[in-house]
């Protein structure tokens, strides 16, 4: 008898917990969809990072223009903000520089010396500083020996410096969320850098 009662209480408790979780996730989805509707009404494109399905999307008018698969995801700090956020700064160790045209030097005919900024000139490792204390670090899967060695530095930064930075922000009573995103390869990372612009708005769908 006592065992049955215990079992019934456990089942009841579990179902309450499940329904609570369900409402929480519906609530999150609701908030997210309201924000997306506002973004989709604007003429500019916006990004959506779905941490559940691990997909980085570029969208416009509710339409997906391009998707990037997130191969690995790490996170520190506060929950991601449930509101539209914007990219304040895009930074990279080797950020591309725009080339200046020299007036009078016609370049159309010279294919070998085109002074242009192309996808191949974009960095494959970069960070995005967004508002509401959100930082996204993007890097590709290491392919060469050098990039594997470089990974050690990134590992140390992620597991020592970022928690300390978070502690510093905690002391200043400022929010900080850090996301570390690994994409499939260099080309994917470069195209992501290309597609995202400073001032670009977007959403992050949480776990």
Partner 1 sequence: MAKVKKTRKKSLRRVLLACLAVFVVLELVAYYFAWPRRAADEIKGEKKKEEELDRRLAAQNSSLERRVKTLAPRGIYIVVDSGNNILSLRRGPEILRRVVVSCGSGSILEEPGGRRRWVFDTPRGGFYIKSKVKNPDWIKPDWAFIEEGEKIPKDPRERVESGVLGEYALGFGDGYFIHGTLYTRLLGRSVTHGCIRVGDEDLKVIFEKVSIGTKVFIY
Residues that bind partner 1 (CB under 8 A): 16, 19-31, 33-34, 36-37, 40-41, 43-45, 58, 60-63, 65-66, 75-80, 82, 98-101, 103-106, 108, 111, 114-119, 122, 160, 162-164, 166-167, 170, 178, 190-191, 194-195, 197, 206-207
Per the document, the length of the chain is 207
Smallest separation (angstroms) from partner 1 to the CB of 126: 14
Rounded to a whole number of angstroms, the minimum distance from the CB of residue 189 to partner 1 is: 12
Contact 133, 177 (CB under 8 A): yes
Residue from 73, 46, 70 nearest 178 by CA = 73
Q: SS3 string of 121-178?
A: HCCCCEEEEECCCEEEEEEECCCCHHHHHHHHHHHHHHHHHHHHHHHHHHHCCCCCEE
Please, which residue, 6 or 62, has the CB nearer to partner 1? Answer: 62
- HSE on the CB side for 47, CA within 13 Å? 23
CB of 124 to partner 1, least distance (A): 13
CB of 83 to partner 1, least distance (A): 11
- C-beta closer to partner 1: residue 96 or 142: 96
Q: How far apart are CA 82 and CA 204, in angstroms?
A: 7
Output the smallest distance, CB 7 to partner 1, in A.
Answer: 22
Cβ proximity to partner 1: between 82 and 136 the closer is 82
28 or 55, CB closer to partner 1? 28
Distance CA 122, CA 92 (A): 9
Nearest distance from C-beta of residue 95 to partner 1, angstroms: 13
Of 139 and 203, the one with the shorter C-beta distance to partner 1 is 203
In angstroms, rounded to a whole number, what is the distance separating the alpha carbons of residues 49 and 205? 6
In contact, 144 and 153? CB cutoff 8 Å:
no
User: Which of 9/101 has CB closer to partner 1?
Assistant: 101
């Amino acid at each position: 008898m006592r065992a049955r009662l215990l079992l019934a209480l456990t089942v009841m408790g579990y179902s309450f917990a499940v329904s609570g979780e369900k409402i929480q996730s519906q609530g999150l989805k609701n908030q997210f969809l309201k924000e997306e509707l506002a973004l989709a009404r604007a003429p500019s494109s916006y990004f959506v990072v779905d941490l559940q399905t691990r997909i980085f999307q570029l969208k416009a008018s509710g339409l997906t223009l391009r998707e990037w698969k997130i191969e690995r995801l790490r996170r520190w700090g506060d929950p991601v903000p449930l509101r539209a956020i914007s990219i304040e700064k895009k930074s990279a160790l080797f950020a591309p520089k725009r080339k200046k045209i020299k007036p009078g030097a016609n370049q159309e005919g010279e294919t070998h010396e085109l002074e242009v900024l192309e996808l191949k000139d974009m960095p494959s490792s970069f960070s995005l500083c967004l508002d509401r204390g959100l930082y996204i670090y993007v890097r590709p899967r290491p392919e060469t020996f050098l990039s594997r060695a470089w990974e050690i530095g990134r590992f140390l930064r992620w597991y020592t410096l970022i928690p300390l930075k978070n502690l510093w922000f905690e002391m200043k009573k400022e929010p900080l969320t850090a996301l570390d995103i690994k994409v499939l390869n260099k080309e994917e990372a470069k195209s992501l850098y290309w597609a995202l612009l400073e001032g670009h708005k977007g959403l992050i769908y949480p776990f």
